[in-house]
Structure formats: C-alpha cells, structure tokens
Chain A
Amino acid sequence: MSARHRLWNHLSYVAALLRVNLAGGLARPLFAATSAAMMFANNLILFLLWVIYFADFSSLRGWGLQDLALLLGIVAWAFGLTVFLAGGLRDLATTIADGGLDVHLGRPRHPLPGLLLSRSIPSGLGDMASAFLFWLWLGGAGIGDLPLLLAVSTAAAIVLGATLVITQCLPFWLPGSAALSEELFNMLLLIVFYPQNAYGFLVRLVLFTVFPAAYIGLLPVEAVRDHSLIQALGVLAAAVAYGALAVWVFERGLRRYASGNRILELR
C-alpha cells in the first residue's frame, strides 16, 4: 500500500469516527442546545469579573479589558473545539484505570483516535460561539483578524488536547491517579483562563515548557495583538511538537498496560 493511500485510508477512518461522534453528541438536540447556551452564558459571567476589575484599575501590566476578551475568546475556542470534537480525552485516565482500553486494542487501528473521538461534549459549541463575541465585539478585533485568530486558537486547541492526553496517561505509571489527572486538568484550565503576562521569568519558563499554558493563552493573544507572524508560527510549531509528544507518551504508556489494570487500581 502506498504512503498516499495509507494516509487517505487513515483520514477516512478519522472522518468516519468524527461523523459518528458528532451524531452521538447531537443526538439530543434540546440538551445540546441548552448545554451550549449555558456555556455561552457561563463565559459571559466569567468575563464580568474582568469588567469589574478594569472598572477599578487602568491596566494589568499593559493588558486592558480588550486583551482579556481576546484571551477568553481564544481559550474558549480552544477548549470548546477540543471537547466538542474529542470529548473522549476527558475519560482517558478512567478508561486506562478501568481496563477499558481492551476494546480499542482489539481493533486494527491506532487506539488513540478511537479513544479521543469516542464522545462529543455539546457544551463546546457554546464555548466556540462565545469566542466570536469575545473577539469581534468585546475584544475589538476586526473581520480581517479572524483567519489569524482561528489559526492560533485551533493550534492552541491542539496544544490543550495534547497536554490533556499527557496528563490523562498518568494512570499508566501511577495507579490510583485518575483523580490527580482531573486536578491537573483543572490546573491547566485555571492557568489558561487568567492573564499570564503578570508572571515573572521563571513562571513563564514553566508555562512555555513543562506546563505549556503559554501556547494556549499568552502567545496566541500576543500574536494577534502584535499581528506577529513569528509568534503565530511559534504557536503552530508548539501544536506540532506537543501533538507528537502526546502520541509518544501514550504509546510508551501503552507498553505498560495490561487489561487487568483495575487490579492495580484496587491494590
């Protein structure tokens, strides 16, 4: 089989998974619409905090309310896209701990796409919709900025997804760590939703390496603010690098996996 044919075959498989996944996620349209609307409202309420903050203070190390709106929009898009398309990554740690990987390992395909695309969380649509409101109305961006915003935000989604895969793989090495994986997810979410320009050099170093929140929040916002191609390319490069790292970590963890993983969890 030629490389081109193999790639086409793989893309068809992912497209089929996506189709089934999204059909499942939208199977209850009323619930999906309510979830999305609530998430939309949820993001707006969160923005209120910053409206109150900037009613009292003129700036936060050079950032104003519009920059915060850009940040919230980018993070909302990244998070919404990730959970809407690949909601299964939220369950990865539990699946590993419960021995649920067996089902996926029996298939003649790489198990990761099947795992990630096993669930769609419809509230993600609300996140994605709110992004446009944050960017175009509250963030002061123009229609011309949209291609750059969508590019860096989608790259940020890949970094977010990859980081979640890595943290959700913890149960491969550390039995009983599914709860810890969830806390690490909450930590990442917490960091990316707050402006990272306030931190000093050392913290920023961590955010650009070990815990790559800077590629999800800080760098995409700076790329849009400065219309900087270099910064945008930095986010895209991070998406490729962290995506590859996530696959590598998952495959390394898979070597340690035994279907009786549950026994290790209960020990």
Chain B
Amino acid sequence: MPRSDSGAPRAFSTLGALFAFIALGWRRAAANRAGILGLLALYWLILMIFWALWQATPLHELRRPGIDATRLFWYMAVTECVILAVGFPYRAVEKDIQSGEIAAALVRPLPYAAAILAEWIGATGYRLALLAVGGLLAGIWATGTVAIPLAVVPALVFSTVIATILALLCQLQLGYAAAWVGTPAPLFWIWQKLTFVLGGLMIPLTFYPAPFGSLAMASPFAAMVFAPASFLLDGSPRAILATLALQLLWLAVIGMATLLVARAAAARFAEQGI
C-alpha cells in the first residue's frame, strides 16, 4: 500500500497548500478595498510628483540622447510599481513573533516561511496587476504615449516577478530579525533607503557617477528595483540577458540566505522560547 506522506503525493499536497496560500493572499488583498484605493492614489501621486520634477529638471545637461521626461516617467512607473506592490509585509512576521502566534504556525506540516511567502506572493501579485494597469493609465494620461517597447514586455514581466520575489525574501528576513532585535523597524528603514538609492528608484543607476553606479548595479538592490525598469532604457537582447542572469544569481543567494535565517530563528525559538 503506498504511503500518503511520501514521494509524489506529498509533493502535490505541498504544492496544493502553497497555491491555497497564494489564493488566500490574493483574496485578502482584493478584499482590502480602502487600502487598495489608497495605494493606487499614492502611486498616482508619486508618479505626478516625479512627472513634475522631471519636467522641471534641466535634462539637456545630461547630454544623453533619447533621455527625456517621458522616458524617465515610465522608468519610475516600473520602479515604484515594484516597491509599492511589495509594501511592508515584514510586519506580519514581526507581529507573529511578538505575539507568540508563530509557535502554532511552526508545528504545521507546511513550513511557516513557505506559507507566509506564498500568501505574500498572492497579495503582491494582486497589487502588482492593479498598479500595472493604474500606471499604464496614468502614463498615457500624463505623457500621451506608452514608452515601453513591445519587444521587452515579456522580459519586463519576468524580471518584475523575480524583483518582487527578491524583495519579499528580504522582507521575510527582516521579519525574522524580530527574533533577535525585537523590533526590526530600524533595520527596515535602512534596507528601504538602500533600496531607493542603490536600487535606482528615482534616478536610473546609469546616471550615477562612476564607480558608484557600477557598484550599485551589481548589488541585490538593483536586482529588486532597477533591473525590470532598465529594459526601458536599454532593451538590447544582451542587456536583457545579463540583467536576468544577475537577478537569478541574486535570487539563488538571497533564497539560500532566507532559508538559513528561517532555520536559525526556528532553532532560537526551540532553544530559548519565543
């Protein structure tokens, strides 16, 4: 008689549970209508602020052909879409640790980290889809065009998915940091601002002075923010492949680091309690 807890059936059951968590995250995000409305308004506001800023900026001083306010608007539409879709989910892990609720979650058959990450992916996916439509509408309204070459759209979508997963993995680590530091908010602020600066949230990393620009481009922050938006500035196959390869490399590294942090936190809970 086949054992139900081994091999393929177990893998299917785990996958089924993960998809259920993804669906749960999606539904929860969709149910928070006031929050979604506020998020969309915040996104539009950011885009309008930077539209005004880039229009007021003497861009001719850059001496780079093809760079104008329209192009930079669309660049920001992508970077901000990723940042806002991800949000601050680390607080959920922090709350679970501070309240002790994580104890119940740790004994479930599906690992806590996998379950919460799946739920976040669902919620982020919903917000990402909504913000993408919102950004598209805002972009057409403000600039009168869509400055995203059709050929880069598949790479842009794939890269955005990797970027958001990378950011979620970092947020998971930040949430777990509550096991050691109690309140990880100060760590989050630093991580967030590094994402803004080294990720090229506002100004493309290609505009940064050397060697700061090259260093930033090789960092994981660039893989989270700059990577998808960079296709709007350089959509050559070579640039796309190099960017995606770097993103996948960071995905492997940060994924492994998250696994280690989750294990270390679980070991700490087992030894010292929550």
Tell whether B16 is near chain A: CB-to-CB under 8 Å. Answer: no
* A contact residues around B209 at 8 Å (CB): 52, 55
Is A177 part of the binding interface, using a Cβ–Cβ cutoff of 8 Å? Answer: yes
A45–B57 CB distance below 8 A = no
* Chain A to chain B: the 10 pairs with minimum beta-carbon distance, closest first: A183-B38, A38-B186, A179-B35, A198-B56, A45-B193, A42-B189, A180-B34, A180-B38, A61-B56, A198-B52
Contact with B along A170-204 (1 / 0, CB 8 A): 00001011011011101100110011001110010
Please tell me if A205 contacts chain B, counting CB pairs below 8 Å.
no
- Decide if A174 touches B45 in the complex (CB within 8 Å): no
Q: Which A35-63 residues have C-beta < 8 A from chain B?
A: 35, 37-39, 41-42, 45-46, 48-49, 52-53, 55-61
CB within 8 Å of A: which of B179-200?
182-183, 185-187, 189-190, 192-194, 196-197
- What distance in Å separates the Cβ of A207 from its nearest Cβ neighbour in chain B? 11
Q: Mark B200-222, 1 if CB is under 8 A from A, else 0.
A: 00110001110010000000000
> How far is B62's CA from A57's CA once the two chains are assembled, in angstroms?
7
- Residue total for A at the interface (Cβ-Cβ under 8 A): 40
B49 CB within 8 Å of chain A: yes
- Chain B residue total in the interface (Cβ 8 A): 40
With both beta carbons as reference points, the residue of chain B lying nearest to A123 in the complex is identified as B186
Q: Which of B49, B182, B193 contacts A191 (CB 8 A)?
A: B49
**Which of B37, B49, B187, B203 contacts A194 (CB under 8 A)?**
B49
CB distance from B91 to the nearest CB of A (A): 11
User: Closest residue to B209 on the A side, CB-wise?
Assistant: A55
Q: Is the interface of A mostly helix, strand, loop or mixed?
A: helix
CB distance B45 to A191 under 8 Å? yes
Cβ-neighbour of A49 out of B38, B41, B49, B202 (below 8 A): B202
Q: How far is the CA of A176 from the CA of B42 in the complex (A)?
A: 18
Given A38-B187, A46-B197, A58-B61, output 7 extra A-B contacts at Cβ < 8 Å: A35-B185, A39-B186, A39-B189, A55-B209, A183-B39, A183-B41, A198-B53
Shortest distance in angstroms between B61's beta carbon and chain A's nearest beta carbon?
5
Binding site for A on B (CB under 8 A): 32-35, 37-39, 41-42, 45-46, 48-49, 52-53, 55-59, 61-62, 182-183, 185-187, 189-190, 192-194, 196-197, 202-203, 207-209, 212
> From DSSP, what is the main secondary structure of chain B's interface residues?
helix
CB distance from A221 to the nearest CB of B (A): 16
CB-CB under 8 A from A48, the residues of chain B are: 197
Most A CB within 10 A of own CB, among B34, B57, B58, B190? B34
Q: A41-B190, A52-B203, A198-B52 are in contact. Are A179 and B61 (CB under 8 A)?
A: no
Residues of B within 8 A of A52 (CB): 197, 203, 207-209, 212
* Cβ contacts under 8 Å, A9 to chain B: none
Contacts A39-B186, A45-B193, A56-B61 given; indicate if A194 touches B32 (C-beta within 8 A).
no
CB distance from A218 to the nearest CB of B (A): 13
- Contact check: which of B38, B56, B59, B208 meets A184 at CB < 8 Å? B38
Q: How far is the CA of A169 from the CA of B190 in the complex (A)?
A: 30
Chain A residues within 8 Å of B32, by CB = 179
Q: Looking across the interface, which residue of chain B has its beta carbon closest to that of A179?
A: B35
Of B38, B55, B56, B186, the residue contacting A34 (CB under 8 A) is B186
When the two chains form their complex, are residues A60 and B56 in contact, meaning their CB atoms are under 8 A apart?
A: yes
Which A residues are in CB contact (< 8 Å) with B59? 57
